[in-house]
Amino acid sequence: MDPNPDTPNTTPTPGLFRYVLGFLLVGAAWGLTTPFMRRAAVASSSTAKPDSRAWIDHPNTPWLKAKVWGVLYGVWDVLRNPAYAVPLVINLTGSVWFFLLIGQAELSLTVPITNSLAFLFTVLGEWWAEKKVITRDTWVGMALVLGGIGLCVRSKNT
């Protein structure tokens, strides 16, 4: 609580460049990592479980014990696989950046802009990681999304 409410707030606000950079970094961290995590998850799910974990599926193993150990082994497998762990850490870092950005930027702009950019970066990440072809319709859709972002920003400035 401010003891002197009549004093003006002198906290400087970040410039437009920092907001745009923040939106782009969050969108890229969320969108570009998704195809890489998907590819690593598909590759890791095709590998067989070690024989040392056969006791988890045994009918005499208590349900709760099997579930807890299954989750722990799953987390261990993810963290042991750098093809999945590195994009996951980058993706989670984007969530931290988003949390920090929400505290500074206007909420009604931050959420739609970062989510839209994440979708755009996901398309680019699929092109890069999975060699998917970006069709003309997808390019048109991406342009319309960028136009929508521009309209959101413009409506807040008027």
Domain assignment of residue 50, yes or no: no
Domain that holds residue 136: 16-45+55-157
- Taking the C-alpha atoms of residue 86 and residue 79, their distance in angstroms, rounded to an integer, is 9
User: pLDDT digit string (tens) for 99-155?
Assistant: 999 988 888 889 999 999 999 999 999 999 889 999 999 999 999 999 999 898 888
Q: Would you state the pLDDT for residue 20?
A: 85
Domain assignment of residue 9, yes or no: no
User: pLDDT digit string (tens) for 9-47?
Assistant: 666 666 778 888 999 999 999 999 999 999 988 887 666
User: pLDDT digit string (tens) for 49-88?
Assistant: 666 777 787 888 888 888 888 888 888 888 888 998 999 9
First to last CA, the chain: 32
- Taking the C-alpha atoms of residue 141 and residue 138, their distance in angstroms, rounded to an integer, is 5
The token duo for 13 is: 């606000």
- Taking the C-alpha atoms of residue 118 and residue 32, their distance in angstroms, rounded to an integer, is 8
Q: Which of 101, 105, 81 is nearest to 93 (CA)?
A: 101
- Taking the C-alpha atoms of residue 60 and residue 62, their distance in angstroms, rounded to an integer, is 6
Q: Count CB-CB contacts under 10 A for residue 30.
A: 25
How many domains are contained in the chain?
A: 1
Domain assignment of residue 5, yes or no: no
**Percent of the chain, pLDDT > 70?**
86
User: pLDDT digit string (tens) for 120-136?
Assistant: 999 999 999 889 999 99
Domain assignment of residue 34, yes or no: yes
The model's pTM is 0.75
